[in-house]
Chain A
Amino acid sequence: MKRRTIVKLGAALLALGVSNSALVAGAQAQDAPTEITMLTLGNKPTNGRLEAMLEKLNERLVQQANVKLDLFYIEWADWQTQYNVQLLSGDDNVDLIATATDWLFGWENAEKGAFLPLSEEMLKTHAPKTWAQVDAKGHWDLTKFDGQIYFMPEDNYTQYTNHGFFYRGDWAKEAGFANGEISKLEDFTTYFDWIKKNKSDVYPWDASASAGKDAILAAYMQSHTDLQTLQQVTAGNFFPFQTSAKDPYKVASYLMEGDELLAAAQLTKKWNEIGVWREDALNYDGDTREEFYAGRSGADQHHTQTYVTQIVNNMNTKQPGSDPKFFWWGKENGNFFKDIFTHGAMAVSANSKHPEKALEVYDLIRNDKENYMLFNFGIEGTDYVLTADGKLGYPEGYDSSTDGLGTNYWWGRMDEFEPPKTSDAPNKAEIIAALDSQAKDYPYSTLIVSKSAIDPTLAAIGGVLSEYLPQLENGKFDDPAAAIAEMREKLKAVGWDEAVASIQSDMDKWAAARGLK
């Protein structure tokens, strides 16, 4: 490796700008297994368990398709930059690339050409099981950009990542809520107030800077309107656009119209005055979840998946009797969505030398139960055990903080292979059923907003929002009404209407093409 780079550097010095890809000629032995590298997210574990698992898995993969799998990690520090830089480098050592359309730049990179377009032919031949399963659900459409399939979606895995408050049933009961159930967002005022008065040394909700960018404002909007946020369009850190369920093809926004934003800001102002969070919550960056576990915070804000896999289990161990509960945004009126099917997905690198083999590996991991168990949970007996009632648990002396397998496979999990876990919340099924009964399907999965035309405007909008929303969220304006009026004026000035018009025209075209309007 090093030698090669030195040679390359020398060549470059002599002939600046001359492509030297000719130097990378390499011959591969015919029968040696093809090596496929999968890019995933996470900090590479150093406990040796990953390597042990890969050795076992590769024995099987060599037999099944004469391939070997290795993992390449994009580590958490600066992961957004790291991910894009890795793709920008055009590295041909990576074959499979983990992606997602809502948080991992899936569409952007498809558009920029980092991913290989996948033909039906290729998929049918080299990933037949995946093809059949996704096809049966009619989900390939969700992965198309300009009519081409760009990735394989994690469309057969049930999870909810809708947000809400985790809170303590025991305290809620004492605060006067029957069964400790809080069923309205505004009722948290009572809960927080009670904590403030009765629990010294506890923040009613120890909110941190990152948790609080606009969570409550959006929550209030969800609970009090039928607005549905367009997940395709971000401005800076925010999702500014919605449609109304009543008028689903017209772009709207609670940030610009209506009184809900003001009402929400008045609620957060009240909370700020009560002292729900730290005075300096906007700069506080502590580990608020640990505070909740330690009984020093009355609430924490995150999503369902976190609640059922971690919160209940941890609270029951660390705060016995705390009766951890979950209130999700939009619970009052059922205004929230199921996860989109491209919340996790797998693409093939445009630079991969063995795209067919890459597809084969993916197909084998996703659809072969034994491979799946190995790759996701490790080796039975050392990494996990199956209890008598078929639940997945951990062996004696296992410490999840140091012994994790860390494959972080969020790019093609399958419901039928996922065993229930001993750490799951006992009421998991109940919660999921409750969500299932309310949740709506996201109607705009196939809508593609051509952002390049309005990127500058969106950036400017993001700039304005970043000046106002965090302060509104934390109740820091003395006169929220004036602040909102000022914000709306500035938004107009940076081209809000233009952005709306452009998104609207994409929406119209999309709706017309599908005969929806």
Chain B
Amino acid sequence: MTSDGPPPNEKSLWRQFSDSRVLLLMCLPATLFFLVFNYAPMPGAWIAFTNFNYRDGIFGSPFVGFKNFEFLIKSGQLWTLTRNTILYNLAFIVLGNLLQIAIAIMLNEIRSAFFKKISQAAMFLPFFISAVLVGVIAFNLLNYDTGAINALIKQTGGDPIKIYSMAGIWPLIIITVHLWQSTGYGSIVYFAAIMGIDRSLYEAAAIDGASAWQRIRHVTLPSLKPTFIILVLFSLGGIMHGNFGLFWNLVGNNAGLFQTTDIIETSVYRMVLSQNNFTTSTAVGLYQSLFGFALVMTANWIVRRINRDYALF
């Protein structure tokens, strides 16, 4: 940094470049990709601080400071929404990963190749069902008048329940639907990781007379740890971003459920729907990005202190 800095360093930097030129070249396509599609538009986030118009473009439009963020604060909901979004995502991340690991381990225990194939394919199905259809299916299962669940209750002589008025159970429903949709897909990574575990470890365990539980606890789970940590750290990056499609299609305009189901995306959608304003949506995104950024940097810093190898960077 300083003027009298040691020249050898510079020289070695050049050496480093020339020594690793092939590896650098191998990274070039990906680097260019992110440069063009992710970094190049970044300065454009300036739009969040402007009253954008087409004539003047992003950088020519009048600067308005934090005005586009104001409604978030004005609504008085910012904290509740942020909390809901984070809590839901935490539940998704923690329960999701646990279930994915469990399913991957159990799939691995299944010996019949045919059964394995069929069940894995079935678990993949929900991934292909779009959010709108998920909403339609949920309504057909849960509604009071014609819902399948209530039809069953009525058949067995019970009183139908008003599920769409019970705010308390909706976190459960939403989390269930999320797990239903993502587990088959997510367990692939863990399944692949289990397949990659060195067989000799299992053989050694077997020779030591380990039970199935010990085998899983001492061999499988530790081997999945790096994958687990990477996955969690990665999901943390998106912890401020809610799954709009899922929440909107399950809950929609049913304000009776908002106290337990409203997240940043759905609330903002209802607030600025009529404005169709690119600046406010960018402003909200910026808030989410910065908040998420701080969160991940902290988490990564902690992981790095514990075990450098598991850190993302």
Contacts and interface: CB of A to CB of B under 8 A. Distances in A.
B143 A278 contact: yes
B32 interface: yes
Contacts of A236: 270-274
B270 A452 contact: no
Contact of B74 (A283, A452, A456): A456
Interface string B62-78: 00000110110011110
A463 B255 contact: no
Interface string B109-149: 00000000000000000000000000110010001110000
B287 interface: no
Contacts of B135: 285
- Of A17, A213, A460, A463, which is in contact with the most chain B CB atoms at under 10 Å from its CB? A463
A105 B254 CA distance: 27
B280 interface: yes
Contacts of B280: 455, 459
Contacts of B256: 282, 471, 476
B227 interface: no
A462 B273 contact: yes
A280 B255 contact: no
Interface stretch (B2-10, B50-58, B94-102): B50-58
Given A235-B274, A452-B51, A459-B272, A470 B253 contact: yes
Interface in A261-293: 278-280, 282-285
Given A80-B276, A283-B254, A459-B271, A350 B55 contact: yes
Nearest to A351: B54
B255 A466 contact: yes
B276 A81 contact: yes
B270 A493 contact: no
A84 B258 contact: no
A114 B53 CA distance: 8
Contact of B164 (A283, A455, A466, A470): A283
A466 B40 contact: no
Nearest to B68: A456
Interface in A70-116: 80-81, 84, 87-88, 90, 105, 108, 111-114
Contact of A278 (B54, B145, B255, B275): B145
Nearest to A279: B144
A457 interface: yes
Contacts of B143: 278-280, 283-284
Contacts of A80: 276
B36 interface: yes
B165 to A, nearest CB: 7
B313 to A, nearest CB: 25
Interface in A194-224: 209, 213
A85 to B, nearest CB: 9
Contacts of A350: 54-55
Contact of B71 (A105, A280, A459): A459
B274 A462 contact: yes
Nearest to A112: B53
Contacts of B258: 467
Contacts of A114: 54
Interface residues of A, number: 51
B14 interface: no
Nearest to A278: B145
A468 interface: yes
B53 A470 contact: no
Contacts of A45: none
Interface in A13-35: 13, 16-17
Contact of B54 (A87, A451, A490): A87
Contacts of B218: none
Given A112-B54, A463-B77, A463-B270, A455 B71 contact: yes
Contacts of A490: 76
Nearest to A109: B54
A84 B278 contact: yes
Nearest to B283: A456
A12 interface: yes
- Of A17, A452, A455, A493, which is in contact with the most chain B CB atoms at under 10 Å from its CB? A455
- Of B54, B162, B254, B274, which is in contact with the most chain A CB atoms at under 10 Å from its CB? B274
Nearest to B70: A456
A460 B78 CA distance: 11
B71 A470 contact: no
A190 interface: no
B234 to A, nearest CB: 28
B28 to A, nearest CB: 12
- Of A455, A459, A460, A490, which is in contact with the most chain B CB atoms at under 10 Å from its CB? A459
B277 interface: yes
A466 B275 contact: no
A285 B139 contact: yes
A237 interface: yes
A237 B276 CA distance: 11
Interface in B227-283: 251-256, 258, 267, 270-278, 280
Interface of A: 12-13, 16-17, 80-81, 84, 87-88, 90, 105, 108, 111-114, 209, 213, 234-237, 278-280, 282-285, 350, 451-452, 455-460, 462-464, 466-468, 470-471, 476, 490, 493-495
Closest 5 CB pairs of A and B: A456-B71, A456-B70, A279-B144, A113-B55, A459-B71
8 contacts: A113-B56, A235-B274, A237-B273, A459-B275, A463-B271, A466-B255, A468-B255, A471-B256
Given A455-B275, A462-B270, 12 more contacts: A88-B278, A236-B270, A236-B271, A279-B143, A280-B144, A283-B251, A451-B275, A456-B67, A456-B70, A460-B76, A462-B274, A463-B270
